Structure 1
Amino acid sequence: MANFSVQLIDLPDELLFIIFKKLNNVELLYSLMGINKRLDRILYDSIFTRRLTLIRSSSNRHIYPLRDEMLDRFCLEILPKIHHKIEWLTVESLSMERIFLVDDYSNLHQLGLLSIQWEGLERLFDAPNIDMKKKLDNLRCFSLISKNETFCYSQSIVPLLHRMSNLKRLDLYLIIDESKFIDGNCLNNDIINHLPRLNHFIFNIQSRIYEYNQTDIRSNEDIQITFKTFPNHKVISCVDFFPEQNFARCHYYSYPYTMENYDKISNNFPGGLFKCVREISLFDERPFQHEFFIKISEAFPFLQKLTLENFQSQNKKSDEDDQHLSIIEYSYLTELRLLDVHDDYIEQFLFHSKSVLPNNISLSVQYDFLKRVTNHFTREQTRINSAKIKHVFLAGPGQHHLSKDFYQYFPNLQSYCFSLIT
């Protein structure tokens, strides 16, 4: 960037604006702010400072903090100069405390909290120099997204939202652990009734109860009734019981669904069309039958990554049945994770009579299970789909010598790795 910046000095301001507008604001500020007064004057424009996303995201859509040197420079040099210009800020859990403590961001209108670790959020709330009663009147849009379970819905999240009385848009993606289901009535009483200007509420919430008494758990029909006062939304809900792990779950979301991932889908999945979703996980203590996977493929037509967890054998399978099954095509699938599964689900995806996998797919599987399902890498029914696998992650209790049959069975394999499990 240094050589690039020297060449930039010779360009007129109008051209610099055109060039800079095509670049990432965070990278731009990090690389060029402080080089000279002319560039600083341009970079201070609201076009480049109004909206900042201070996170990194990987190709698999995981969220990470900025690199240490970049975060240091923003917190020590850049944010102190432009905090009053920021109107839209997106941060993640590990770095948000440092970022928030730089200044009060007096003109902030939109705030996104992604990949939240609740311990960090609670620690931030308890910081002595933060007034937890101060109203956040400037905020118009707020997003709170976390894949981690939270035990602080009542004591932290609800009070935080009460401070944002002028919100017009709210996005919530939460997994809540409470002694009761957080349903539509709770959302009304805890949140909506305290946000009189709210006109756009997108949510995807899993409410979980551990060590439950099934006689005290309401049905899905009961849950649906609590959303009758949500006139601007179609709300989909699903109630599950998992006796082996001793928890009950109520999952509900506003539809159409806008997230890119859909987690812990069970046999009670209500269906629908989810064009935005690229990644899903499947989990149940009851077996998934072939018809379930047909439903999944139809609901998620652009699915790229699938993780499955189910140790229950399919109870509707035989060689004769396989001849009459509809073959499922996964046109966009790039990653398949089958580490915690019964052999039947490896067959479900590798049998060419059940599934058509795309080329260049990545497979994660326990080595001994794969060896057993493929009959020591000789089985014809699994050969066609195995030939499409380009990367394989093998898990097992020890290192294994990969035979000649293994390499012949996966002729297009470009890489593999072993991971020891005990």
Structure 2
Amino acid sequence: MNRSNVHLLDLPNEILLTILRKLNNIDVLYSLLDINNGRLDIIAQEKTFTNILNFVHIDEISLIDRFCMYILPRINHNIKYFILEPNFMERILLAAVYPNLTELKLLNFEQQIASKYFTDESSLRSVFQQQITSLILVTNDKSARVGSSKEYTRNVYAYILNFFKKLTHLNIIGPYVMLCPGLSLRDLPSTTFYSSILTHLCIIVENFDDCLYLLDGRLKQLTTFNVNVYSIDTSSTIVHNTDMLPNLKCFSLKSYFRNQQYEKIPSLLRRMPYLEHLTLYLSIKGRNRIIDGTCVQDDILVHVPQLHSFTFYISTYIDIGDLSHNLSHEHIQQTLINIGQQNATSIINNLGTYIVECSIFSLPFSFDHLLYLGNIFPNIVFNYVTYLLVQDRDGFKHEFFVRIARSFPLLKYLRIYNIKPQVSTDPTLSSDHSQSYSMIEYPHLMSLDVAYSNQCYLEQFLNETKACVPCLTELAVSHYDLKIVTNNFTREETRRNCAKVKQLVPIQLLDNSQDFYHYFPSL
């Protein structure tokens, strides 16, 4: 058979479907539906392509027009889940009646979206109130960071539970957790953020008290609770409900800041005797003993006998002068093995002469944050980490950053705390011998913070013969270091990696010279 004569439509439906499933379903619908071909028309209306529609990053008016006028009215009965940005949300949701739509994900969510659409006067009221059972909000609310947490709680968080009458799953997240406004319930009525049907909740809260408020009985049907806590160290005289939580089967608690009051965690877990899945991300300070496998067994696992899976990262920030025994990776590893955590490991990082950060974590590493990584870390791939802070009492070698690029393939945010100069494997080399280094690629790196680091690390990332950072848009830096490394904004080797920077976060005032603005055309 002459293969050049084989047409796409000569293929059987099974092969056509296999090929089309590898494509974006929006592209499939746009290309195949309503083109006067009955066979392709039927294939395009398969539930594979119509159950979930993702309109994120689509800003072509003509494409949206075609979908709203010709495509959505034809597949409306199949659609169960929309992923949308606010720009076209109203137009898309009003383009047809979607009797089976129950799930909605909104990106770039801001308080003004709630004010406009989550009201009884909204044109989308019936969809939101009577159909949506699962809601995901990816917040990008920059204005909320300078406002009142309680006001945001009343106007957004609490209002959502009141407005969406059938909501059973609520997930509120941010592209970067530190920028997401936290829920704050202190001094608010116990009916605030109340639901008799909510079963799944993912949210960020101001402090540990807010976590306890959410478990005081106002969400009686909760079976899955994922919470990010800004601060566990809150001194409160409030006596919280300590009743058992028999419905809770999945619990995740993450706190990215160092906290002292570790004892609050075991106290809370005692209330969860039927817990089956537990996730903990904790950073602890103020102890004279590291948290190893033995502590995990005595403080955590003993309280949750029904546990099926345990995912954890627990680090201890400690003054080694206070330790009653010497730190040993082998000893820590044995304590993990002793409690059945063979798929776990530890890192011991020297942050200063007497200060050590010791972390234990399950494998594979399942978190998007990793803090205080030093020169010595295991040879594994951290597939989910997007935010990384590196710090060590000794300088970082170029090879260290080669390992970082290899071990953190999805890295977006990198902070470097190290005042010691970069160490070369060849002591005869200096930063001027850049051709002697291998060039490192960071394909996803968006934000780099070297404001409190030796200027050689700025050189490491801005010199295009050492690093390729095509997505770098935010740079926190000392203005003095920036002038030195770029040779007063004239150096060609550092120009390319500065070209896309949209935001500079300097310690000192910025330069107003013409060379400066030519060097950073995207500011």
TM category, shorter? 0.7 to 0.9
Supply the RMSD in Å over aligned alpha carbons: 3.8
Aligned counterparts of 1:314 and 1:32: Cα–Cα separation in 2:
57
Counterpart for residue 262 of structure 2: 153
Counterpart for residue 42 of structure 1: 130
Contact 2:103 2:132 in 1 (8 A): no
CA spacing shift, 1:166–1:63, aligned 2, 3 Å: farther
1:18 counterpart SS class:
coil
**What one-letter code is carried by the residue in structure 2 that aligns with 1:50?**
T
CA spacing shift, 1:196–1:328, aligned 2, 3 Å: same
Q: CA deviation at 1:395?
A: 2.0
Q: CA deviation at 1:394?
A: 2.3
**What one-letter code is carried by the residue in structure 2 that aligns with 1:52?**
L
Q: CA deviation at 1:341?
A: 0.9
1:243 counterpart = 2:347? no
Listed one character per residue, the Cα deviations across residues 78-108 of structure 1 (whole Å, up to 9, x for unaligned) are 844xx22121223332283696388442222
1:227 counterpart SS class:
helix
Contact 1:360 1:391 in 2 (8 A): no
Contact 1:362 1:389 in 2 (8 A): yes
1:253 counterpart SS class:
strand
Counterpart for residue 110 of structure 1: 224
CA spacing shift, 1:403–1:101, aligned 2, 3 Å: same
Contact 1:335 1:362 in 2 (8 A): yes
Aligned counterparts of 1:111 and 1:77: Cα–Cα separation in 2:
19
1:22 pairs with 104, 114, 121, which one? 104
Q: CA deviation at 1:21?
A: 2.7
More strand by share: 1
* Structure ID, larger Rg: 2
Q: TM-score, normalised by structure 2?
A: 0.66
Aligned counterparts of 2:435 and 2:126: Cα–Cα separation in 1:
72
Aligned counterparts of 1:39 and 1:406: Cα–Cα separation in 2:
51
CA spacing shift, 1:406–1:225, aligned 2, 3 Å: same
CA spacing shift, 1:311–1:229, aligned 2, 3 Å: same
Aligned counterparts of 1:324 and 1:46: Cα–Cα separation in 2:
54
1:377 counterpart = 2:489? yes
1:354 counterpart = 2:473? no
Aligned counterparts of 2:498 and 2:471: Cα–Cα separation in 1:
10
Q: CA deviation at 1:112?
A: 1.9
Aligned counterparts of 1:390 and 1:226: Cα–Cα separation in 2:
47
Listed one character per residue, the Cα deviations across residues 198-254 of structure 1 (whole Å, up to 9, x for unaligned) are 01100011112136347833211111111113546511211123335x422211211
Q: Structure 1, unaligned stretches of length 5 or more?
A: 416-422
Counterpart for residue 322 of structure 1: 434
**What one-letter code is carried by the residue in structure 2 that aligns with 1:268?**
I
Aligned counterparts of 1:268 and 1:393: Cα–Cα separation in 2:
29
CA spacing shift, 1:140–1:378, aligned 2, 3 Å: same
1:280 counterpart = 2:388? yes
Listed one character per residue, the Cα deviations across residues 53-77 of structure 1 (whole Å, up to 9, x for unaligned) are 3x452x3343534689xx99x9787
CA spacing shift, 1:141–1:233, aligned 2, 3 Å: farther
Aligned counterparts of 2:246 and 2:321: Cα–Cα separation in 1:
40
Contact 1:75 1:102 in 2 (8 A): no
For 1:12-161, what aligned pairs fall within 5 Å after superposition?
A: 15=97, 17-22=99-104, 31=118, 42=130, 48-53=166-171, 55=172, 57=174, 59-62=175-178, 64-65=180-181, 79-80=193-194, 83-94=195-206, 96=210, 100=214, 103-120=217-234, 123=236, 126-128=237-239, 130-132=240-242, 134-154=243-263, 156-161=264-269
CA spacing shift, 1:167–1:373, aligned 2, 3 Å: same
Aligned counterparts of 2:203 and 2:416: Cα–Cα separation in 1:
30
**What one-letter code is carried by the residue in structure 2 that aligns with 1:200?**
S
1:188 counterpart = 2:297? yes
Contact 2:101 2:132 in 1 (8 A): no
Counterpart for residue 66 of structure 2: none
Aligned counterparts of 2:396 and 2:355: Cα–Cα separation in 1:
19
**What one-letter code is carried by the residue in structure 1 that aligns with 2:387?**
E
CA spacing shift, 1:330–1:206, aligned 2, 3 Å: same
For 1:131-280, what aligned pairs fall within 5 Å after superposition?
A: 131-132=241-242, 134-154=243-263, 156-177=264-285, 178-210=287-319, 212-213=321-322, 216-231=325-340, 233-244=342-353, 246-280=354-388
CA spacing shift, 1:363–1:9, aligned 2, 3 Å: closer
Aligned counterparts of 1:414 and 1:277: Cα–Cα separation in 2:
27
Contact 1:350 1:385 in 2 (8 A): yes
For 1:388-407, what aligned pairs fall within 5 Å after superposition?
A: 388-396=500-508, 399-407=509-517
Contact 2:102 2:133 in 1 (8 A): no
2:331 counterpart SS class:
helix
1:334 counterpart = 2:446? yes
Aligned counterparts of 2:307 and 2:238: Cα–Cα separation in 1:
29
My pick for the range that moved more, 96-105 or 179-188, is 96-105
My pick for the range that moved more, 30-39 or 273-282, is 30-39
**What one-letter code is carried by the residue in structure 2 that aligns with 1:348?**
Q
Contact 1:56 1:66 in 2 (8 A): no
My pick for the range that moved more, 231-240 or 248-257, is 231-240
Aligned counterparts of 2:298 and 2:454: Cα–Cα separation in 1:
43
Contact 1:357 1:388 in 2 (8 A): no
Q: CA deviation at 1:140?
A: 0.6
CA spacing shift, 1:17–1:260, aligned 2, 3 Å: farther
Larger RCO of the pair (alpha carbons < 8 Å, separation 6+): 1
Aligned counterparts of 2:511 and 2:126: Cα–Cα separation in 1:
63
Counterpart for residue 456 of structure 2: 344
Report how many aligned residue pairs link the two structures. 391
1:148 counterpart SS class:
coil
Q: CA deviation at 1:259?
A: 1.1
**What one-letter code is carried by the residue in structure 2 that aligns with 1:151?**
Q
Q: CA deviation at 1:267?
A: 0.5
CA spacing shift, 1:31–1:40, aligned 2, 3 Å: closer
Aligned counterparts of 1:190 and 1:389: Cα–Cα separation in 2:
46
**What one-letter code is carried by the residue in structure 1 that aligns with 2:257?**
N
Contact 1:273 1:298 in 2 (8 A): yes
Listed one character per residue, the Cα deviations across residues 170-202 of structure 1 (whole Å, up to 9, x for unaligned) are 000001122200101110121112211101100
Q: Structure 2, unaligned stretches of length 5 or more?
A: 1-85, 136-165
Q: CA deviation at 1:310?
A: 0.6
